[in-house]
Structure 1
């Protein structure tokens, strides 16, 4: 019988492989996700596949419907993309301002570590490191939201960021470098405990992120 750590490692492996298939469109957007088929292909029981799909539902990569099972999440529309960034531009600067007056050294160290991981992934620039980049990008924003002291804002922003997986792998040259630079400026404002600067740098980051990602997102719908 597998130990708890072995079971966790197995679930992580299955989660990572299914996530890769989803973001690479090996499982097409909107397609039904068959648990037994995936289990056979990965030579595992259905249990870790179910556990992985539950996590992927929280990530926004799959959708579970009553009596219909899981399907791969559909691609976002341009309007959904714009709506998402409109809400992020309203909430994330406020989260950053709140974090600036509440953040502690542990949070600063965690943000610094996430930024370092993003820079390492930026240098290697492979598909696997890109996934790492996106993960630490999300964790960076999530830590700031947590530091704001507003649990409702944390949960709301997590739901928004789940949808970013549906377009953010359409990266272009320079996006990672620009993102890291903007994160550095946000981190500096947080270190300085300056809520106005934290809100302003976050607002600029969200605006520029939208400008960078929209053309690639549009291209994905033309393929």
Structure 2
């Protein structure tokens, strides 16, 4: 392993850790980000934190302003939220169709495991339970995208979902059951190697997810008002 490889692995780990704090609202939307404070919290030097923030800026999860440094991105507007789902509806059904004809046994096991863990994350509607549920929700979508064999599509969808998940802690009660049922239909179609049904099931899931997230968008905008 070259010296550059462990450095890159560290940068990837730090980037993932900060991104998780952003989507979990451990770092609130719009909050100022202090490089030294983040480095101390993650037990790393400031260098990988700077690299991570630059990457997260490119993903749109943080913003950098002259003389003010980095801040967490604010929650998107209603119009941008609609545009986000327009893009997901274009790409994710296609990703599901590709996965239906390309997924292997390992991918099917990963999808089944994510769905099982989503179903297990029920009960108390606590913030931590919702975090676990949505972590496996994201993994389910990530496995589908990566199983399609198009790395650019998978990377693009990952960025889109990061923005979607900024709203995830505003989900109304009852979302886990509906989401699991919809994921099961997608998984069944992929397991049956039926690309048309997989695409249709994913499209239905995204339309319903958008409808469920709208109250969260309103709640988030009310908090900012």
TM over 0.5: yes
Pairwise CA RMSD: 2.9
Matched, 1:109 2:82: no
> After the TM superposition, which of the residue ranges 29-38 and 48-57 deviates more from structure 2?
48-57
Change (3 A) 1:172 1:57: same
Change (3 A) 1:21 1:83: closer
Q: TM-score, normalised by structure 2?
A: 0.80
Secondary structure of the 1:71 match is strand
Per-residue CA deviation, residues 149-195 of structure 1 (Å, 9 max, x unaligned), is 22221121112112112212111111111111100110000110011
In the other structure, the counterpart of 1:97 is 97
What are the ranges of 5 or more consecutive residues in structure 1 without an aligned counterpart?
Answer: none
Per-residue CA deviation, residues 80-100 of structure 1 (Å, 9 max, x unaligned), is 110011111111111111111
In the other structure, the counterpart of 2:160 is 160
In the other structure, the counterpart of 1:15 is 17
Matched, 1:29 2:29: yes
Task: After TM superposition, give the deviation of residue 15 of structure 1 in Å.
Answer: 3.1
Secondary structure of the 1:221 match is helix
In the other structure, the counterpart of 1:175 is 175
What are the ranges of 5 or more consecutive residues in structure 2 without an aligned counterpart?
Answer: 1-5
Change (3 A) 1:100 1:135: same
In structure 1, how many angstroms separate the alpha carbons of the residues matched to 2:132 and 2:50? 23
In structure 1, how many angstroms separate the alpha carbons of the residues matched to 2:185 and 2:39? 44
Change (3 A) 1:193 1:176: same
In the other structure, the counterpart of 1:81 is 81
In structure 2, how many angstroms separate the alpha carbons of the residues matched to 1:20 and 1:155? 19
Secondary structure of the 1:222 match is helix
Q: TM-score, normalised by structure 1?
A: 0.81
CA contact (8 A) 1:19 1:56 kept: no
In structure 1, how many angstroms separate the alpha carbons of the residues matched to 2:88 and 2:146? 15
**Aligned length, in residue pairs:** 212
Secondary structure of the 1:100 match is helix
In the other structure, the counterpart of 1:198 is 198
Change (3 A) 1:120 1:60: farther
In structure 2, how many angstroms separate the alpha carbons of the residues matched to 1:151 and 1:87? 17
Secondary structure of the 1:169 match is helix
In structure 1, how many angstroms separate the alpha carbons of the residues matched to 2:115 and 2:164? 18
